[in-house]
């Protein structure tokens, strides 16, 4: 029987970069950036977006698309699909984040990934367009089926100031989410290896994003280790030389 090699090609299309708007973002005494967070969500009769966010800090600005879910049967058998986040400026669409997924070599087509991705930059939004982002942020999902049909769904999104609720300290690394435990070690287990370092910190009062080497508490540059004997645990080096233990969180 002939086997068909299958792959999905993901094409990032457009990340609009605007000139900065980092108001009200002074640093905390310990050097950790202070954040201003706005939640992004929306729904219509067909789909909904949750856990999205717009983040301003003294170091960068970030847009997080959040999680897409369907109220009925999920779309499947797709030849391709596009996701777009945008707002209206002078009646024209101004794109913040857009990507296209194309299924090639998959006879049954592909489905839609629930994670809508993220983008960040030192400057992402101009102050003069922020009101338009608040008032006219939209999401569109469009594409085509393997049988030749097309689809397009759009909805308005709500942008609101986030609450001060703090999530458990977490790290996302090697496609897994880990949460802090109460355990702290003075030395690492035998045969522990370096996985890498924290590359970015997000606010602790927003849901974790699924981006590699992101933490909602630990500072940039914190070293992360793992040991083969405990595949569901990682260790993070603290400033005092000890190691905080994080365990995998079921997703």
What pLDDT, on a 0 to 100 scale, did the predictor assign at position 7?
36
What pLDDT, on a 0 to 100 scale, did the predictor assign at position 126?
75
Q: Where are the domains of the chain?
A: 7-161, 170-248
- pLDDT tens sequence across 89-119: 888 999 999 999 998 767 778 889 899 988 8
- pLDDT tens sequence across 165-196: 678 899 999 999 999 998 999 999 999 999 99
Q: What token pair was written down for 118?
A: 């993220």
Which among 84, 39, 27 is positioned nearest to 207, based on CA atoms? 39
Phi, psi of 57 (to 5 degrees): -140, 180
Q: How far apart are CA 76 and CA 74, in angstroms?
A: 6
What pLDDT, on a 0 to 100 scale, did the predictor assign at position 23?
36
**Please, where are the H alpha helices in the chain?**
130-136
What pLDDT, on a 0 to 100 scale, did the predictor assign at position 164?
55
What pLDDT, on a 0 to 100 scale, did the predictor assign at position 25?
35
What pLDDT, on a 0 to 100 scale, did the predictor assign at position 34?
58
Which among 241, 207, 240, 245 is positioned nearest to 225, based on CA atoms? 245
**Which residues of the chain register pLDDT less than 70?**
1-35, 58, 105, 162-165, 251
């Amino acid at each position: 029987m002939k086997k068909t090699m299958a792959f999905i090609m993901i094409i990032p299309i457009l990340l609009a970069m605007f000139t900065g708007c980092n108001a009200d973002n002074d640093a905390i005494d310990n050097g950790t950036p202070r954040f201003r967070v706005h939640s992004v969500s929306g729904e219509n009769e067909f789909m909904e977006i949750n856990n999205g966010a717009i983040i301003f800090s003294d170091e960068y600005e970030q847009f997080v698309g959040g999680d897409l879910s369907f109220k009925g049967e999920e779309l499947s058998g797709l030849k391709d699909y596009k996701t777009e986040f945008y707002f209206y400026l002078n009646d024209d669409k101004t794109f913040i984040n857009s990507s296209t997924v194309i299924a090639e070599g998959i006879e049954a087509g592909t489905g839609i990934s629930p994670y809508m991705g993220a983008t960040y930059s030192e400057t992402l939004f101009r102050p003069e367009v922020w009101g338009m982002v608040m008032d006219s942020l939209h999401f569109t999902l469009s594409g085509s089926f393997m049988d030749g049909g097309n689809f397009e769904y759009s909805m308005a999104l709500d942008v609101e100031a986030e609450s001060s609720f703090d999530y458990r300290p977490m790290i996302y690394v090697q496609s897994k989410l880990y949460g802090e435990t109460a355990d702290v070690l003075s030395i690492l287990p035998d045969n522990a290896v370096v996985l890498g370092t924290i590359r970015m910190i997000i606010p602790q009062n927003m849901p974790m994003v699924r981006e590699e080497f992101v933490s909602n508490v630990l500072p940039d540059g914190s070293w992360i280790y793992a040991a083969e004997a405990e595949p569901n645990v990682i260790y993070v080096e603290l400033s005092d030389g000890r190691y905080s233990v994080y365990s995998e969180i079921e997703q």
